[in-house]
Structure 1
């Protein structure tokens, strides 16, 4: 199967989930499969390309909360102190920062939709920030809807589910109790927002096949657009 000249709407695909869920592995496999089929693929990393005020946010986690820097590995575990710090003040700070990120995503996502790429893959999305909120709170759910009205909705949004203990063994950065709570928040998010597909903790090759199948199905469904909150890529 080879792709011809650009004749279809650009598809946005996002990957979200707890740390250690296997997002990088799935993204690389999907990207490779699509490129081998002749599709033009663009990769956008949320933290590097979309998030704003990164130096301030990284500095707060290290200086204010005494968290470790870097990426944890099985041989060199670390203890981060950032999104797992829960307090009323930090919640207010997050609410403000996430709006800034949403406006950045609105611009970058709109540009991606107008690009020559057939598929734009997001390594994490605004979903990963919203999952840090207490989504049992009605006020948080109202905020979620307002933020989602600012950004393009991915036609395929994946949440990679994973056993928190196994995920932490692969990427030891956050306490296990936080990972359990964070996992529940992702599941809750998928129930609140249409269009999010939860990939259960399948064997690796089965999960890869399911991801590729979902994306290909959407691309060739004849109706790639998802119903959205008010949003315009021209804005």
Structure 2
């Protein structure tokens, strides 16, 4: 049962380009919280939020010839989806992301009404917007509109990564796209005031995340002592 001293669970999101280490850090934080007795709900953005996920995956496979596989060291994948920035695809995504934002609002309402102590989102609306060419003013204006539609998490992490290192861990997209992708995340970080975690070692990244969560818990007046202890 959620702690009575909190009106709602702590909401945390993890964003970042493929190969930035999100899955590792999410599992580490989740494990630490659960070992301390916290009830943690994990929500994967693609599985639990986005509109028409099967149709979107099928479109990428059939029309964009994306193999949809997950790349691994020594086993590269041939992805062609979010890296394709043709005008008609950008227009289509812009419409779909509005639907994603509406669905995300509902998902957050359900999460905040749950019995969880902590709700962790594996990706958020920021990851959708990062696929857009945010160096262009029109797309920044569009992103600002979408950001106003969606509640901001209590802690919204963006895990930075060097494009070459990210591609080595997950060889799925061309390197030139990863540089553009990273720049979009950095633009979003400034636009939305997200918490940027530098590209450090796995242990140091984990420490940075724990420190930020602890500061939020202690400074926000939303958590009991057990949750404060869980990230100490």
Give the structure-2-normalised TM-score.
0.91
Report the equivalent of 2:103: 104
Gaps of 5+ in 2: 223-232
Shift of 1:220: 1.9
- Report if aligned partners of 1:73, 1:172 keep a CA contact under 8 Å in 2: yes
Give the SS at the match of 1:73.
coil
Q: How many equivalent residue pairs?
A: 222
Gaps of 5+ in 1: 225-235
Deviations 1:1-36 (A, max 9, x none): xx9933213111111111010000000001111112
Shift of 1:223: 4.3
Q: Give me the CA root mean square deviation.
A: 1.7
Report the equivalent of 1:149: 148
| Inter-partner Cα distance in structure 1 for 2:68 and 2:137 | 34
- Report if aligned partners of 1:84, 1:174 keep a CA contact under 8 Å in 2: yes
Report the equivalent of 1:232: none
- Report if aligned partners of 1:21, 1:161 keep a CA contact under 8 Å in 2: yes
Does residue 49 (structure 1) correspond to residue 71 (structure 2)? The answer is: no
| Inter-partner Cα distance in structure 1 for 2:113 and 2:219 | 20
Shift of 1:212: 1.1
Report the equivalent of 1:233: none
- Report if aligned partners of 1:60, 1:82 keep a CA contact under 8 Å in 2: no
The 3 A distance-change label for structure 1 pair 206 and 143 is same
Greater helix share, structure number: 2
| Inter-partner Cα distance in structure 2 for 1:56 and 1:4 | 36
Shift of 1:207: 0.7
Report the equivalent of 1:209: 207
Give the SS at the match of 2:13.
strand
| Inter-partner Cα distance in structure 1 for 2:179 and 2:138 | 22
Deviations 1:49-94 (A, max 9, x none): 0011112211221111112122111132111000000111111100
Report the equivalent of 1:222: 220
The 3 A distance-change label for structure 1 pair 4 and 72 is closer
